[in-house]
C-alpha cells in the first residue's frame, strides 16, 4: 500500500530480500555518548541476522558488542526518484562459538580490509522495517 507521503511500507520478507542484495550498509551506534554511523560490507545469515567481519581489536567491536544497534542499507536511483531503505535493529554480539566461527569463515562476509585477527559480529534481526518509493522521471 502506498501511503499519502508516497512511501510503501515493506514487510519483513521484502526487507530481507532487498537487504541481501546490498553490498554496503551502515551500522548506527553510540560512541562516547554521541551517535555514530559507520559504512561496512556485510551479509545476511540464514537466521536473518546481519553479519559483519572486522578486526577483533577494532573500535567498532568495543562499541557495539552486547548493545542494541541499528543497521541500515538502501538503494536509490536519482533519475527515476525511486529506491528503498531497510533498517534492522537488534543486539550486536561477537560470535564466540568455534563451530559458528568456522562456518562463518566459509559463508560469512569477506572484509574489504585485510586483517589477521578477524572476528564476526552478529546483529540480531529483532526489528526489521523498510520502505520503498517508486517515483517517476522528472519532467525536463
Mean pLDDT of 63-73: 97
Mean pLDDT of 110-131: 89
- Is the model's pLDDT at 111 over the cut of 60? yes
> Measured between alpha carbons, how far is 60 from 36 in angstroms, rounded to an integer?
10
Mean pLDDT of 79-97: 95
E-only strand ranges, the chain: 7-10, 24-31, 34-41, 43-44, 50-55, 68-77, 82-94, 118-123, 127-133
To the question of pTM greater than 0.85 for the whole model, the response is yes
C-alpha cell at 50: 546481519
Kindly list the structural domains of the chain, giving each domain's residue range(s) and its CATH number in brackets, ordered by start: 7-133 (2.30.110.10)
Mean pLDDT of 48-52: 96
Q: Is residue 123 packed enough to be buried (19+ CB in 10 Å), middle (13-18) or exposed (0-12)? A: buried
Amino acid at each position: 500500500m502506498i501511503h499519502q507521503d508516497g512511501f510503501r511500507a515493506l514487510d519483513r520478507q521484502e526487507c530481507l530480500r532487498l537487504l541481501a542484495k546490498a553490498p554496503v550498509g551502515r551500522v548506527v551506534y553510540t560512541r562516547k555518548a554521541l551517535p555514530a554511523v559507520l559504512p561496512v560490507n556485510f551479509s545476511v545469515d540464514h537466521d536473518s541476522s546481519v553479519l559483519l567481519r572486522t578486526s577483533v581489536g577494532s573500535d567498532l567491536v568495543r562499541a557495539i558488542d552486547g548493545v542494541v544497534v541499528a543497521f541500515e542499507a538502501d538503494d536509490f536511483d536519482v533519475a527515476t526518484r525511486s529506491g528503498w531503505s531497510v533498517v534492522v535493529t537488534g543486539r550486536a554480539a561477537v560470535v564466540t562459538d568455534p563451530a559458528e566461527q568456522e562456518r562463518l569463515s566459509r559463508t560469512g562476509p569477506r572484509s574489504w580490509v585485510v586483517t589477521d585477527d578477524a572476528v564476526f559480529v552478529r546483529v540480531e534481526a529483532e526489528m526489521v522495517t523498510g520502505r520503498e518509493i517508486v517515483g517517476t522521471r522528472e519532467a525536463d
